[in-house]
Structure 1
Amino acid sequence: MLTLYHSPQSRSSTILSLIEEMGIADWITLQEVTIPRMDGSGGRDPANPHPEGKVPVLVQDGTVITERAAIILTLTTMFPDAGLAPEIGSPDWGAFVAWLTWYQGVVEPVVIFQAAGISHPWLTATFRGPEEMAARLRAALERGPWLLGGRFSAADILLHSPFAWFPEATPDDPLIRDWVDRCKARPARLRVVEAEAARRVA
């Protein structure tokens, strides 16, 4: 049994897009919860099993799985026929896992530090910065059109997500901007965006 704890217009929307792309919605129970928002709205939901009250959270047969990269690995491994990840053990699988973990460990911190105007030599030494992030994305997309070459994957879904939410953080590079736009225009993502907008209006 799989349950996804989700809050609209949040990081968990990325996982909804993945589920829609994979066509596995019938296998997952969606539980909507509230979360504390940057604007001061919302609040921690006692029904949410996340240790810090965040989303997304995937619960698999009672086991709590947090962090988008971990949830993506779990779902793409459980449903390999959906085609959103390479075969486990293949060279492309290793590259796929590297993209997901690079996002969690580097991209999101770099984007957040940049948005917050925070700079320190320790941060640069550990995470590098926006220029290095953009260079790595560009190098992959030059072989593209997707991060794994000719194949769209869940790595594209996760890696483009901060730039979809914060366009001002998108590197000023036509190749990267085109990739972000193509990811944003995926029919599965558009269906999620439209459904969440409809809920907000209601």
Structure 2
Amino acid sequence: MLTLFHAPMSRSTRIVTLLEELGAREAVQVKTVSVQRRDGGGGPDPENPHPEKKVPVLDHDGTIITESIAIAIHLCTLFPDAELMPAAGTPEHGKALQWLAWNAGVVEPVLVAKLTGDDNPAFRSAFRGWDEVMMRLESALDTSPWLLGSKFSVADLIVHSSFSWMPDLLPDHAGIQDWNSRMMARPAAQKTFAEDQEAMAAIAGA
């Protein structure tokens, strides 16, 4: 049995969207839990099996899996027919892993630094700066519609996920803006966003 623990409007939203893209929504139970919000709302949920009470969390037959990238790769492996992850052992698979690792190891720390105004030289040396992050995206999307070339993949979903909440951070670059528009228009993204909005409204009214 597969159970995804999800908090609306959080990092787990991208995993719910991934389930939609994989055609696996009916195969995975999505259980809503509360988390501590930046605005002080919410709080740890005793039903959340994550060791730090964060999301996403995937329970696969009693084995608890955390971290978005691990969960995304695992789900793409379990539901290969959607072909969102290239086959293992191919160069394209390695390229997809590169983008996923880059998002977790570079984009998210650099994004937090940008939002908090942290401009520590040691941090930039270790993780790179915002300009380098945008240059990497620009280079990839200058000549291709998707990060892996001509086909949408899990790499696009994960790398775009932070910008789905903050599209104004993206530069006025034709390839990036076109990519963002197409990502926002995908039916899976729109469905998940609408569900999250409805869930947040219900929480606010409770």
* The two structures share one fold, judged by TM-score above 0.5: yes
1:164-185 Cα offsets, whole Å, 9 max, x none, are: 1122322342321221121111
Other-structure match for 1:45: 45
Which range is displaced more, 87-96 or 167-176?
Answer: 167-176
> Aligned ranges for residues 146-157 of structure 1 at < 5 Å?
146-157=146-157
Among all aligned residue pairs of Structure 1 and Structure 2, give the percentage whose two residues are the same amino acid: 47
**Which structure 2 segments of 5+ residues have no match?**
none
Which secondary structure does the structure 2 equivalent of 1:64 belong to?
strand
Other-structure match for 1:71: 71
> Aligned ranges for residues 52-63 of structure 1 at < 5 Å?
52-63=52-63
Other-structure match for 1:123: 123
4+ runs deviating over 3 angstroms: none
1:14-51 Cα offsets, whole Å, 9 max, x none, are: 00110001110111111110000000000000111111
Give me the TM-score of the superposition, normalised by structure 2.
Answer: 0.94
- Note the aligned Cα RMSD (angstroms): 1.1
1:38-70 Cα offsets, whole Å, 9 max, x none, are: 000000001111111110011111111111111
Give me the TM-score of the superposition, normalised by structure 1.
Answer: 0.96
Q: Distance in 2 between matches of 1:50 and 1:5?
A: 9
Q: Distance in 2 between matches of 1:36 and 1:123?
A: 26
Q: Distance in 2 between matches of 1:15 and 1:168?
A: 22
**Which structure 1 segments of 5+ residues have no match?**
none
Q: Distance in 2 between matches of 1:82 and 1:93?
A: 14
Contact 1:6 1:12 in 2 (8 A): yes
Contact 1:72 1:154 in 2 (8 A): yes
Code of the residue aligned with 2:8 in structure 1: it is P
> Aligned ranges for residues 73-92 of structure 1 at < 5 Å?
73-92=73-92
1:107-138 Cα offsets, whole Å, 9 max, x none, are: 00011100100011111111111111111111
Contact 2:167 2:180 in 1 (8 A): no
